Structures are given as structure tokens and as C-alpha cells.
Amino acid sequence: MRAEIITIGDELLIGQVVDTNSAWMAQKLNEQGIELYQITSVHDDRDHIIAALNEAFSRADIVLTTGGLGPTKDDITKHVLCAYFGAHLIEDQNVRAHIEDLYKDRPDVLNRLTATQWLVPDKAIILENRVGSAPLMIFHKEDKLLACMPGVPYEMKIAMEEQILPYIQSKIKNQKSEILHRTIQVTGIAESTLAILLDEFEQTMPSDLHLAYLPKDGMIRLRLSSYGALSEAEMQTYTDQLTELVKDYLIADTDEPIEVLIGRILTERHQTIATAESCTGGKLASLLSKHPGSSAFYYGSVISYDNSVKEHLLGVPAEMIQKHGVVSEEVVRVMAESARKQIGTDFAIATSGIAGPTGGSAAKPVGTVWMAWATPKGTTAECFHLGKLREQITDRACTKALVGLLKILNHKS
Amino acid sequence: MRAEIITIGDELLIGQVVDTNSAWMAQKLNEQGIELYQITSVHDDRDHIIAALNEAFSRADIVLTTGGLGPTKDDITKHVLCAYFGAHLIEDQNVRAHIEDLYKDRPDVLNRLTATQWLVPDKAIILENRVGSAPLMIFHKEDKLLACMPGVPYEMKIAMEEQILPYIQSKIKNQKSEILHRTIQVTGIAESTLAILLDEFEQTMPSDLHLAYLPKDGMIRLRLSSYGALSEAEMQTYTDQLTELVKDYLIADTDEPIEVLIGRILTERHQTIATAESCTGGKLASLLSKHPGSSAFYYGSVISYDNSVKEHLLGVPAEMIQKHGVVSEEVVRVMAESARKQIGTDFAIATSGIAGPTGGSAAKPVGTVWMAWATPKGTTAECFHLGKLREQITDRACTKALVGLLKILNHKS
């Protein structure tokens, strides 16, 4: 059972919007045992959309589209689908009632353009878009299926989970294979060195089991994938073998983000954490507070982007900054210990570095980042050189900070 | 002059990685007057890559690929290109010298797998990947061109800017058309209401000028696009007309992120800002510190995810939290004023809300967010209801907070 995604919108092709929908949809399809074969991004253009539909149907059983369903002139997906399937637009009373309810407190929105949203192709099965005005449409084309959703990410997500995936499930049961992915995460080894370490393992793997290497921010994710070939138990055996081979570098035995693993350990142990960030500027706090339930272990942060904040809120002595510089072991140690004490947590992480593009020197070039981890058993600090680009430096600093903490937490268990 | 992008990697099609490369590349191509026609994501699979190359060459003059150039077995792009172009791998002394220099301090990385990176197709023009081991490859196919880059975003970006785009420029001069995009940003009006307001304008526009509506987080970006049809001056005339029509809702006359506009105003005025975040958990700080030069105006933040931090570091009285709740006008006002005073800035923004999935009540459902703006002329506060999904709520809260500040700054000027 193969699917393809077509994302529709000029904004994708001029780079005004990053397509985050496709990765999310891909995960959901894989969980359901549906292989995603290709993602295609096309313009809001009739011929382009039709060509993409024809190509996708030639390769896949299920085609999902996002985008082009708004009420304005630039959105043409519904009209193109009418042309493609020889359908005509008719008023749908359920959709109309839903939209009238959706905007009952905003009469100005119930205008003639919004009214076009309850016109639907007469050959489509219409499913409710609970959180928006664009109805979800399903078309059957011989034994194949097309599902059309809005491009707004949170509308698409609710549509997929509540309507589209259950509908697809009901149509394809018994036709899907079991897609299995297992990912583990390692750090402290180069990709090529790791591949040499795993050479024999890769040579003895069955030919329909695949191993992928995904390096990012100083970590490597190792993913085993099987498309219907292996059972859960067989997959587990290979995953265990792989895990054993890389055990000296293992940081996580799942694909979950490091901050989720940290959160789970801290929550289980009823421990808490704070951050004191300079160069990462809130990115670390944002990661630690991103996931539901984070208030159980994440207490807060002092973001001391300016030196005055380091002095006044974190008690870093001005003379220390004067003597050692703000990017120094001395300063990050005080920052971490002060955050831990003032915020009243078990752990605290501090970062101070030069994210660039300016501010570097021969002794401390752009990319130099000091960080410290304050714990109930004392404080450790480490210096990293994390590259040349601002975003890369702050992303890597967050990864290093979290990996460092995870190591401390794992060591203590 | 048309281009297409092919992104290669199983990780994209199982949703393990979001493709952020394509949007960035699309912007760069547009700036150079090259239209990006389609983006296609394909598996690390020989037949799939070859089919995608054939299709892309049938539509476009320039094809760019990312991904599949690592030293491990799952990366096959270079071998597929050899098959496609009938090329053979030969050792490249320049690439070898570069890689040996790149890893001169890490002898373990100079292993037999890394050595495969200096084998290059004998029919390719090789350009240097200054920050990685995978050489950049250019192939000419009749009058068309293929450029292959690594998928690691920062390697791709440096490759595009320093090597690939200059190479393309040198080959296509005088063949490109002038692509013009102009974007303005509005808020406080529904998309359909806005479209009705602009109906007459749209009807009088030349047929080769396009208007697109891009709603996100309570704002709408309006983009005018012309592919070689209009001059800069003509485009400016239409942009001015559009701007005048929406002036009551206008928040920005460019496509720049709101935090960049804020940063520019604050820097020019030598003013500064701090934040006091609860539900946004560092996301606002992260936005304000994201761009180069932000240390000129952004001083820092107290992230008070736990109530104890609100009390101890921001001086919110426990009785106030007890009486009004932590998500209340009273609390955000104290948070903002305290952050402004303690961090010593001209402005401060505070947020406190229920990001969910738990913590909501009938009176204050998930999505309720109070925020306050403390300024030299006093403090204002406002309550918003920002949806149901955690990420959506915190993203929208950041947009509301920044838009609110931008309005204050514009009002003062």
C-alpha cells in the first residue's frame, strides 16, 4: 500500500513557507503501515496540479493533497479537482451549518467569499473540518483514493487524525503491510568510523532490512527499517544487536528528542531543572518547555543576553567578566549554580558563547561556547567549538547541553 | 529559466526529518531570477532517483539535488549519477587534500570510508565543499545543468552561496527573467473580508500579476508576484495601491519577521527590551535573540514556568496568584513591570497562559493567554484565546506579543 503527498501552493516554491506538513503526515502514514513513496510540491496552477495528480496516481494507491482550499482567488485546488473528476459544485448543508456555527460571533466573516466554502464537488465524499471553513474532500478513482486537506498545519493535523486516516483505515484494512522503524541515537563517534564499526553487522543483515545514518548537531541517529519483511520480534533482535555494538556511544534507544528523555527521567525521579542562557537565548528553555507535562520538571530560566542581567539576576561578579570574559568557564559555572539556587531546582544548565556573526576573536572565535551543569553533586563545565553559522551554533549548543545532562542523569541511575 | 529541486533521502519520506532546505534554496533561486517549478522528495533508491531526474529534466533547465552524499552504504546518490551519466569514479587530488586537511586533528576519521569521499565521477565538474567531506558535483546534460549538494542544511547553504549559485550565474547570464515578489503583512481582518476589500484591485490587476493570501498565527501576508512581466517601478505602483487599500490593518510593508522589524526600530532608537515568559517558555526570547545584532536591543528574560519563579524572581505576590490565578491580568502586569525594572530595559513583554493539553477550566479554557506590555508610558494588558493545540497556542502567543509591541512602537514614532 503506497501513498504520495502533493503539497499545493506558490508559497512553497518561492520559499516563503517551509513545508512542515509532509514530515508529520509521513510519520502518521508509516504508523498505519502505509509507505510514503514521494512528496511533490507544485504551484497553484491547474495544469501543474493535474500533471502531479496523474503522476502520483500512476505510482501510488493513495494520494493526499494539502493546500489551495482557502476562499480567495489564489486558491484553486477545488476547481481543479472538479475539472479533473468531471464534477460540479453544489451546496452542502452540513458544511454550511458548520461554517455558520464556526463564525457565529463574527458576522463580518460570513460574507459571500466564505459562502463559497460550502460549495463542494458533487463527486466528493465530504468530511468535516472541525477547526476551519474548508471542507475535507475524498475522491475515489477506480480502486485508488484521493484525500484533500487544507495546508494550515493545525487544521491538517486534526483533519488527518480525526477524519482522513480513519477513513483510509476503513477502506484498506488487510491490504497494508507492517512497516517497522527502530531508531537509536549515538554521540561521540564520526559517521564513517561508526559505519566501519557496523560493517560486519550490515553485511549479515537480511537484504530487506535497511540501516540509515542520520547525523545532526553532533549526534547520529541510526535507523533500521523494514517494509513488511520482518516481524516485530525479528526487528527487535536486530535492534538489540545494533544497540550492543554501539553501546559505548549510545545516548538513547529510541528516536525521541533528548529533552523528552530528560523530562521522563526527571519526572519519574521528582527532580527539576532550570536554565541560565546567554548565547542560546531561550532556545534551550523553549525545548525543555515544548512538550506536554514539562511543567512537572522544568521550572524556568534566566536569560542573560546582556551582561548586566548576568550581574544583577545571576550574581556574576563584574570583575569576573572583566578578567575572564563573559564566555568563560568561571562565568558559566556561576550562572549555572546561581540559576540552580535561585530557581530552586535539582539541576541547572548554563550556556555562554559567541553565536556570531560578530564578536569572535583569535582566542575565542565565533562558535566557542562554554557550558556548565550544576547538579546536587557539584558542577561540571566544558568548552565546545560548534561551527560558524549562528543558527547551527545555537542548535548544536542546545544539543550538547541536553546530551551532557542526559549523560549525568544516566550516570546517576 | 526554470529550476527544480530533488531532495533525496528515506528520512524525508518517513517523516524523520523536515525538509527546510528547499524553502531556503527556493528563496535564493528567486532572488537570482530563476523560477522554482517543483520540489520532489524521493527515496534513497536508484530507480526512484533516476525517474525523478528524467522528469525534472523534462520540465526544467536546472536541477538541484540535496542528500545521499555521505560515506555510508545508505547514501547512493553519487553511484546513481555515475550510472545515469555513464561516468566512472576517479580519485580527485584536490578533494583528497581538502578532506585530509579537514580531519587533520581527527586521524580516526581518515578511514577507508572517508577515503571514498574523494572518489568523484569523471564526467562531473567538482566544486569544493568547504565545510564538509562530500564534494559538490555539477553535470551538464545537453544545455541543461545538474548540481548536487549534501543534505546537511549548513553545508548546503555554504555550498549554494559560495559555489553553486555563482557557477549557475556564470552559465545563464542574460537568460533569466526578473522575478519580483512584494509582501506586506496585515492583522485584525479575516482572510475572506480582506479578499472582498481587495476584489476591485484584483480585477484591475494585469493578468500576469498574482496576488496570494498567506494567513498564519492571526496575521495575513499579502504577496504580489510577477515573473518577468512587470518592471520594478510598475511593481512598486501596485504595491503602493495595495498598501493604501489595507492601511487600516497594515503591520509591516515587507515580508520580514516581526521581531526583525522590532529589532530595527529599537536599535535605531537605542531602546531595549526584556521578556517575562510563562506559557511561551522561552520561545519569545528565542525569537528576539535569533537574528544577528539582537544583543543591541534584547537584554534577557525571566522564564517563570513554575509559580515559585514568578514569586521569587519577578516579585508576583503569592496572594495575587491565589486570588486571581496565574493566568490573569494582575499577574502579567506585575511580570512585565518587574522584568522591565529588574532587567533595566525600556520595554518588557509578559505572557501567562494555558498551553494545554491539561490545565484548562470552564472559565479559562486551554488557549487562554494573558499578556502585558510594560513601556516607559505605562503598561497595557490583553487576553487572547489562541486555539486548542499546544504548539499553535504558543506560536500565536508570540505573534500576538510581538505585533502588540510593534503597534506600540509604531504609535510612538
Can you give the pLDDT at residue B413? 42
Cβ distance B343 to A109 less than 8 Å, yes or no, reads: no
Min Cα separation A139/chain B (Å): 23
φ and ψ at A125, to 5 degrees? -85, 125
Can you give the pLDDT at residue A28? 94
CA distance A59 to A189: 39
Number of separate helices (H) and strands (E) present in chain B: 17, 17
Min Cα separation B207/chain A (Å): 12
Using CA atoms of A90, A96, A98, A99 in order, give the dihedral in degrees to the nearest 10: 110
Min Cα separation A245/chain B (Å): 17
Cα separation values, A73 from A99, A120, A354, B236, Å: 19, 16, 47, 22
φ/ψ region of B127 (left if φ > 0, alpha if ψ in -120 to 50, else beta) reads beta
Residue with cell 529559466: B1
Closest CA to B67 of B111, B114, B12: B12
Are residues A146 and A139 in contact, defined by beta-carbon separation less than 8 angstroms?
A: yes
Residue A174 has pLDDT above 80, yes or no: no
Q: What is the CA angle B9-B13-B14, rounded to 5?
A: 110
Helix, strand, or coil (residue A150): coil
DSSP state of B160: I
Give the residue-averaged pLDDT of A196-214: 93
Q: Where in chain B is the domain with CATH 3.40.980.10?
A: 2-172
Q: Which residue of A has its CA nearest to B216?
A: A152
Closest CA to A306 of B409, B334, B346, B378: B346
CA distance A21 to A119: 25
Q: Where in chain B is the domain with CATH 3.90.950.20?
A: 258-412
φ/ψ region of A362 (left if φ > 0, alpha if ψ in -120 to 50, else beta) reads alpha
Can you give the pLDDT at residue B229? 85
CATH of B258-412, one of 3.90.950.20, 3.40.640.10, 3.30.428.10, 2.60.40.10: 3.90.950.20
Cβ distance A302 to B306 less than 8 Å, yes or no, reads: no
Residue with cell 533508491: B45
Min Cα separation B196/chain A (Å): 7
Q: Containing H/E element for A310?
A: helix A307-314
φ/ψ region of B68 (left if φ > 0, alpha if ψ in -120 to 50, else beta) reads left
Q: Which of B11, B45, B389 has the most A C-beta neighbours within 10 Å, making it the best mutation to test the interface with A?
A: B11
In DSSP terms, B301 is beta-bridged to A303, B275
Cβ distance A195 to B299 less than 8 Å, yes or no, reads: no
Are residues A124 and A137 in contact, defined by beta-carbon separation less than 8 angstroms?
A: yes
Q: What is the CA angle B400-B406-B407, rounded to 5?
A: 90
Are residues B122 and A204 in contact, defined by beta-carbon separation less than 8 angstroms?
A: no
Predicted TM-score (pTM) above 0.80? yes
Are residues A352 and B300 in contact, defined by beta-carbon separation less than 8 angstroms?
A: no
Give the residue-averaged pLDDT of A4-12: 97
Residue A176 has pLDDT above 80, yes or no: no
Q: What is the pLDDT of residues A103-115, one digit of tens each?
A: 998 888 999 999 9
Length of chain B (residues) = 413
Alpha helices in A160-223 (DSSP H): 165-172, 191-197, 199-204
Residues of chain A in contact with residue B192, where contact means CB-CB under 8 angstroms, are: 71-72, 109, 111, 113-114
Residues of chain B in contact with residue A113, where contact means CB-CB under 8 angstroms, are: 192, 195-196
φ and ψ at A305, to 5 degrees? -70, -40
DSSP state of A217: T
Q: Which residue of B has its CA nearest to A227?
A: B14
Using CA atoms of B309, B313, B315, B316 in order, give the dihedral in degrees to the nearest 10: -20
Give B229-237's long-range contacts (Cβ < 8 A, gap of 24+): B230/B180, B230/B206, B231/B178, B232/B178, B232/B180, B235/B180, B235/B182, B235/B209, B236/B182
Residue A412 has pLDDT above 70, yes or no: no
Q: Which of A203, A273, A286, A340 has the most B C-beta neighbours within 10 Å, making it the best mutation to test the interface with B?
A: A286
CA distance A53 to B236: 36
C-alpha cell at A258: 533528548
Beta strand pairing call for B250-252 and B119-121: unpaired
CA distance B146 to B138: 6
User: How many of the other CB atoms lie within 10 Å of CB of B293?
Assistant: 13
* CATH 3.40.980.10 is the classification of domain A2-172: yes
Are residues B2 and B60 in contact, defined by beta-carbon separation less than 8 angstroms?
A: yes
C-alpha cell at A161: 487524525
Residue A413 has pLDDT above 50, yes or no: no
Using CA atoms of B72, B78, B79, B85 in order, give the dihedral in degrees to the nearest 10: 180
Cβ distance B19 to A19 less than 8 Å, yes or no, reads: yes
C-alpha cell at A359: 564578536
Nearest-CB residue to A213 (from B13, B72, B158): B72
Can you give the pLDDT at residue B346? 98
Are residues B398 and A282 in contact, defined by beta-carbon separation less than 8 angstroms?
A: no
Give the residue-averaged pLDDT of A8-23: 95
Nearest-CB residue to A304 (from B38, B225, B300): B300
Q: What is the pLDDT of residues A326-363, one digit of tens each?
A: 999 999 999 999 999 999 999 999 999 999 899 999 99
User: How many of the other CB atoms lie within 10 Å of CB of B241?
Assistant: 14
Cβ distance B286 to A290 less than 8 Å, yes or no, reads: no
Are residues B198 and B255 in contact, defined by beta-carbon separation less than 8 angstroms?
A: no
Q: Which CATH architecture has domain A179-252?
A: 2-Layer Sandwich (3.30)
Can you give the pLDDT at residue A260? 97
Are residues B69 and A190 in contact, defined by beta-carbon separation less than 8 angstroms?
A: no
DSSP state of A407: H
Q: In chain B, which stretches have pLDDT less than 50?
A: 412-413
Q: What is the pLDDT of residues B60-112, one digit of tens each?
A: 999 999 999 999 999 999 999 999 999 999 999 999 999 999 999 888 899 99
User: Chains A, B: CB contacts under 8 A, how many?
Assistant: 345
Beta strand pairing call for A144-149 and A136-141: antiparallel
Enter the ipTM.
0.89
Can you give the pLDDT at residue A388? 83
CA distance A29 to A90: 31
User: Residues 6 or more apart from A333 whose CB is under 8 A from it?
Assistant: A350, A372, A374, A379, A381
For chain A, give the mean pLDDT.
Answer: 94
Burial B200-238 (b: 16+ CB within 10 A, else e): eeeeebeeebbbbbbbebbbbbbbbbbbebbeeeebeeb
Min Cα separation B375/chain A (Å): 19
